[in-house]
Amino acid sequence: MSQMCDVMENDVIDVYLRNQASGKPTTWNLGLYTAAPGETGGGTKATYTNYADVAIVASLANMSGTQSAGSTTASSGTGGQSSNNNALTWGTAAGSGPQTLTHFAWQNGTTPWMYGTLTASRTINNGDSAPTAAAGQFTVTAA
């Protein structure tokens, strides 16, 4: 699950109801946070050594259609849910810590557009392996 920031709500309204060009990026940066963003943006991104956002090119190949996890064709489902088609890894083994990861955000550059809470928070200690997510683990629901 995730919820939209004001900037994304405005973009959806302008694109679909007002026939304006979208400000959406071609590549999303999926960030992990130690404090939730808000609807106006913000939040505290993970800052431990070797952390890095995951860049995901917006495409049929990288995000599933709503019909099923792992699908790569145009959406035809009813649940309004998409998820990552490939495994994700944020940076490399932590070079500092501790930090407790609690949230994520889909960012346009560094600006959160939608965000949500991790199913389970994770504390990263110095030397811990990089956080990973298997394919299908990061879901986005538009409903």
Angle at 132 between CA 126 and CA 135, to 5 degrees: 175
71, 90 in Cβ contact below 8 A?
A: no
Rounded to the nearest whole angstrom, what is the least distance from the CB of residue 119 to other proteins in the complex? 11
Instruction: Tell me the window of 10-18, 58-66, 70-78, 91-99 that interacts with other proteins (CB under 8 A).
Output: 91-99
Binding mask 47-86 for other proteins (x = CB under 8 A): x---------------------------------------
Contact flag: residue 41 with other proteins (CB under 8 A): yes
Residue 16 DSSP SS3: helix
* Dihedral pair phi/psi, residue 9, rounded to 5°: -60, -45
| Nearest Cα residue to 111 out of 51, 42, 47 | 42
By CB atoms closer than 10 A (0-12, 13-18, 19+), residue 21 is exposed
Q: Which of 89, 121, 132, 137 binds other proteins (CB under 8 A)?
A: 121
Instruction: Tell me the window of 13-21, 33-41, 83-91, 129-137 that interacts with other proteins (CB under 8 A).
Output: 33-41
Residues engaged in binding other proteins (CB under 8 A): 1-3, 6, 34-44, 47, 97-100, 102-103, 110-111, 116-117, 121, 123, 125
